Amino acid sequence: MAIRSNQSARDRLRRAREERKEPLRSWTAALAGLALCSAFGAGEGGASGHPRLAGIPPRPSDAITGSQFATRTAAWSERDRQRAALDEIERGNLPRFLSRLRSVDLRGARGAGDAVTATIWVTPDYLALGPDRDFLYMPMSWPSATEVARRFGCVLPTPKMVDAIYAQSRVHLEPRPLPAGSEMRSNAYFERHQQLIDVQRAGIPAGTLVAGHKKDVVLSDRLFDRPDRVAIYGWHGLDGIPIQPLSTRHGVRYADYSHGVRLVWHQVWIDGAPREITDVLADPGLAPVLSDEGPIRDPGRLLDPQRAERAAFGAVGR
């Protein structure tokens, strides 16, 4: 696609992020612009048919590495570190292999009992900051996770999607829990856990669909009743059983070393036909294909980063 079209999409995204009065309408417009920059088959997605995340700027020549980011922000507050990480990622400082999405199939039945196959497209690994050879997995709070998801035309997975991603991953990494304590949210823990994962990732081609090394920040209907919380799930053991059941125990700004953000493209293929994934998640007949909770109340609203920010300050009611 022409550079002018990509720049136009980024401009639309910037305006959408600044729009506060009508966040859901802005989000829809932003996704529509992003969809124009996504291609399948022999286009931008390549001959393999894998789509790519849209709207990622070229990585700046002066962009720092993951190790440098960890050193620079070690003494910063969590809020300042989250903001700095978002700024780096949104200006293109993330591993290039994350941009090529991988397909994952889910199966279920409509309300009438007819079998349904849904295909979602997900990042091959968790969100990270830095170049391919020196990146840092970046745990993110719910406001940060929803902001970066919107920025790249994506949503966050449901627990059922997380299970399917694990089951269909080409490589299963073993969870590496660290001792619980106040340091769990520190850069030192982030780097220590990174090193443990890197040992397991050695020799695995970049862009391979991998899972098991982090808990997922997930989309759950529970967040409507607990808007000041973050939902987490997963961290599957090699036996396929998740260590972390679905939980909304932690506050909306909480993020520790074990958390990861995996992005899911905003369109899902239902029996080969594209649909907006938020529409399907709200559809009583189709939602069970993508979510064990059944239909999710207004998933677009749940994924609105402005709502998440207000929740952090207690401004969102039930």
Helix (H) or strand (E) holding 268: strand 267-270
- The 232-236 sheet, strands edge to edge: 242-247, 232-236, 215-217, 259-260
Query: Which pair of structure tokens corresponds to residue 36?
Result: 């124009």
Determine the pLDDT at residue 41. 34
Query: Which pair of structure tokens corresponds to residue 83?
Result: 């903001």
Exposed/middle/buried for 80, CB within 10 Å: 0-12, 13-18, 19+?
exposed
Express each pLDDT in 197-232 by its tens digit.
Answer: 999 999 999 999 999 999 999 999 999 999 999 999
pLDDT band at 20 (very low <50, low <70, confident <90, very high): very low
pLDDT band at 306 (very low <50, low <70, confident <90, very high): confident
Look at residue 86 and tell me if it is in a domain.
Answer: yes
Mean pLDDT is lowest, of 7-11, 42-46, 76-80, 119-123, for: 42-46
Q: How far is CA 237 from CA 166, 167, 207, in A?
A: 10, 11, 21
Determine the pLDDT at residue 49. 57
Q: How many percent of the chain have pLDDT more than 90?
A: 75
Look at residue 302 and tell me if it is in a domain.
Answer: yes
Single-letter amino acid code for the residue at 194: Q
Quote the number of domains for the chain. 1
Half-sphere exposure of 154 (CA within 13 A, CB side): 31
Q: How far is CA 255 from CA 160, 185, 270, in A?
A: 21, 6, 33
The helix/strand/coil state of 208 is coil
3-state SS track over 97-160: HHHECEEEEEEEECCCCCEEEEEEEECCCCCEECCCCCCEECCCCHHHHHHHHHHCCEECCCHH
- Residue 217 phi/psi, 5° resolution? -80, 120
Express each pLDDT in 271-280 by its tens digit.
Answer: 999 999 999 9
Look at residue 27 and tell me if it is in a domain.
Answer: no
Quick check: 176 pLDDT over 50? Answer: yes
**In whole angstroms, what is the distance from residue 99 CA to residue 124 CA?**
9
- Residue 104 phi/psi, 5° resolution? -135, 130
Look at residue 24 and tell me if it is in a domain.
Answer: no
- The whole domain housing 76 covers 45-312
**In whole angstroms, what is the distance from residue 271 CA to residue 173 CA?**
31
Look at residue 272 and tell me if it is in a domain.
Answer: yes
Query: Which pair of structure tokens corresponds to residue 19?
Result: 């729009």
Look at residue 40 and tell me if it is in a domain.
Answer: no
